Amino acid sequence: MKQGIGQIAIVVDDYDKAIDFYTTKLNFSLLENTILSETKRWVVVAPAGSERCALLLAKAANAEQKSRVGNQTGGRVFLFLYTDNFNRDYESFKSKGVNFVREKVIEKWGTVAVFEDLYGNLWDLIEPSPN
């Protein structure tokens, strides 16, 4: 048996603001942006070169969903962005105004820093150690 996670939904307040953040600040690719109705779109973004999991940007449709924008995990790190070059991506993100809430730490298993997306969801930026 083979399984895998194809997409993870992240609740956003505005499709276009979210697309802009992920594509211009984090260098993600916009994989799909399909209009489903006047209020709903199917918007999928993924890290450049990613062959695995993508993010489905899901616009909050009611008060309960709106209350979750930016706090989908109660303040814990939500997503983990792996990179093959920590310093390249760290400097690129910082130069584009991405807010790092915990600066770079070098661990035995790799290099990591925590940043927040435009809504305040926390992400780890990780470059695993080569061994």
Q: In what order do the strands lie in the sheet with 29-35?
A: 7-12, 54-59, 41-46, 29-35
Mean pLDDT computed over 59-83: 94
User: Taking the CA of residue 8 as centre, how many other CA atoms within 13 Å lie in the half-sphere pointing to its CB?
Assistant: 11
> What is the C-alpha separation between 128 and 71, in angstroms, rounded?
26
Distances (CA, A) of 123 to 57, 100, 117: 16, 9, 7
Whole-prediction pTM: 0.92
Q: Tell me which architecture the domain covering 7-128 has in CATH.
A: Roll (3.10)
Q: What confidence tens digit (pLDDT) does each residue in 92-127 have? A: 999 999 999 999 999 999 999 999 999 999 999 999
Q: Assign 3 a pLDDT band (cuts: 50, 70, 90).
A: confident
Averaged confidence pLDDT in the chain: 95
Q: What confidence tens digit (pLDDT) does each residue in 15-43 have? A: 999 999 999 999 999 999 999 999 999 99
What are the sequence ranges of the domains in the chain?
7-128
Q: What is the model's pLDDT at position 94?
A: 98
User: Taking the CA of residue 17 as centre, how many other CA atoms within 13 Å lie in the half-sphere pointing to its CB?
Assistant: 8
Q: What is the model's pLDDT at position 49?
A: 86
> What is the C-alpha separation between 32 and 51, in angstroms, rounded?
15
Mean pLDDT computed over 1-12: 92
